[in-house]
Chain A
Amino acid sequence: MQEHILSILIFFPALAAMFGFVVHKDSVRAYGITVAAIEFFLSLWLWNLYDPMTSGMQFMEMAPLVSAFGISYLVGVDGISLFIIILSTFFTLIGIASLTEKRRVKDLIITLLFLEMTMVGVFAALDAIVFYVFWELSLIPMLYIIGAWGGPLRIYASIKFFLYTFTGSLVMLVGMLFMAYFYYQATGQWSFSLLEWYRLILPVNIQMWLFGAFFLGFAIKVPMFPFHTWLPYAHGQAPTIGSVILAAILLKMGTYAFIRFSLPLFPDASVIFMFPIAILAIIMIVYAAMVAYAQEDIKQVVAYSSISHMGVIILGIFALNVEGITGSIFLMIAHGVVSGALFLLVGVIYDRRHTKLMSEFGGLASVMPRYATIFGIMMMASVGLPLTINFVGEFLSLLGFYKQSHSYTLVAGTAIIVGAIYMLSAYKKAFFGNVTKEENKNLKDVNRTELLGLVPLVIVAIWLGVYPKPLLEPINNSVEAIVQLMHDKAQTEEAKQRIPDLAHSAGLNSMQEAH
């Protein structure tokens, strides 16, 4: 069973969703929680089996699908994908457990289980076409969740979300076909296997074109400035569960794909585009923070702050060294936990008041003390207070980029600090002061169902902030392998310099120690 654990992880939720059609609608929530819990424990078991000292792929499975065109079912995990997979199963469980939606809950839970399959599939896939299949399939459940359970503009928002991502990924598909064709030219065999592609060394100008094609697909998903316009609509209209999954997992697909595809496949192009992308990332951080400050709707504040933090992740990735990439992967997890929790929290208040405008609230801290505490902790985590989960990731990402450029990092770092303003001011508006509205006086504090979802998130946010080592170590090992691969493949002088040579420096260290 251990050899097939990844396939079980991928297809178990889908199979369970099929069976879910039979379950009666009054019991379907319990069914959903059961399935998601089993899936979560399976993913924990995967972590338990995972060998943190190995940097390469583990639990690989391979079965030919279209061998005439080099497509095969190829999956595996390493330190980079392991924790994002666990995050996906974790959030599906939390999302279903704290679900307050009453309308057509059966359809919703079945959809969520299908979505879980696609999320695990994306992060486990090592064949470009299999990756693409899950990547595209993940759009459909999300389209349905936003479009059927969302706000007044839900149809517009859901179609915008779908078409944006679909267009970007089609360009990426052409890029993938090109890669396969180059592989065919080089070896006489068709192959879409990423591990085979890693061995290809492409001419720099071709790298640049292909980097562009892949970039479009990933950047829309992240979403990077200026392709971010679909996200505020999607978040604004999506139901709580939709926003939670979107922010916590789906956006990570883009950043994960940068690390999995763009960096190791196109090291020279990555170095060439490093500063342009860093500028975009900094614009993202600053601009999204400014827009967040101007929002009246508390959910939009969280949405824009989420875009802003994705900028830090991008910055960390394009530091192209071990610290930066490790930090950005850790920040992906952290961002997932924190922004997912914030969207859940916004959902709590929306369920009670059916409004998300900050002006409608005020003084909530005295009416809902537990709620205010949890919100406060999560907000501090979001701002990046030391000893919370976000701090570790942001610090490492910035440290990584500091090695490439001091001035850029300074701007980005300042922007993050300034970013704290909008969160604090939003918190002040909603929670402190006097209770101004009559309706707010009798609001109920968070109930058991909601605590069930929120408390684990608080624990994770603090635990990993204090002691991140269990995650950092396996991530670090796998990142080192990727950085070394990039260095070995790099052709231009600049790339050789920018991307550190770990084997060599390790050799130097041991020599120094010998002296």
Chain B
Amino acid sequence: MSVAIPNVPARTSRRRGILTSRKGRVGFAILLALIAIAAFAPLIAPHDPNAIDAARILAPPDLAHPFGSDALGRDVLSRVIYAYRVSLGVAVGSTLLAFLFGVPLGLYAGYHGGWVDTLIMRPIDMVLALPALLLAVALIAIIGPGSDVALLAIAVIYLPILARVVRSSTLVVASQTYVEAARARGTPSRRIITRHVLPNAIGPAIVQATILMGFALQIEAALSFLGLGAQPPTSSLGVMLADGRDFLTQAPWIEIFPGVAIAITVLAFNFFGDGLRTRLDPRGVAR
């Protein structure tokens, strides 16, 4: 009658605290710091990120400019901080957008099944079949470059992934006895979906979204590197990487610091996602 999957409920585990794993705590701490840096960029950045200083062209790191200066003599640290703000915004925004639309789609497809499932999931599968970056480039080719378009493109890439994850966990939850019991109590199906299925099925999608956010930063950087993301004067980490690549041998600091920022962010999101998985998705623990 019931599926023999141990059911660790989302709500109660939250009460005991998400951050029981060390990895999760480390990831969470780094993320908090990174978000603070992005949020308070004007307060933290030591210099104007766009101030050109002819005397400091390709100057190596020193005390006043710990990350050195770029080809126009701009302070790399300040530029990384401001660029990070744009990159993180695109990464988080795109994932949230995909989450906002992907979760309801997967939920309804999984709960109703049959032709509703087919109608929702077949187009999503088609999007999923296309190579992610190619899809993003094609979209940008249609709409035109810009960080908001990059955000949209990443959301389009992520929506099918999140919809699939939610659909599969919904299939498991919808067959549980407590959902049938809710039906037997005469609970309207809309309420069953929002109050009984969603809270029990959302866990894996939250984990997936967290990890996807880290990779969104990478995709954004790739698009910007190709000149398809943020446009000057706006800078993002990818733009910085593109700008610095001609000076890699003379002034590697222009490349290294934005690269490190990307790496740390992806790592932090992954750690945090793993920590969440341990709490929210009992099947992930056994893996």
Q: Do A and B come from one complex?
A: no
A interface residues with partner B (beta carbon < 8 Å): none
B interface residues with partner A (beta carbon < 8 Å): none
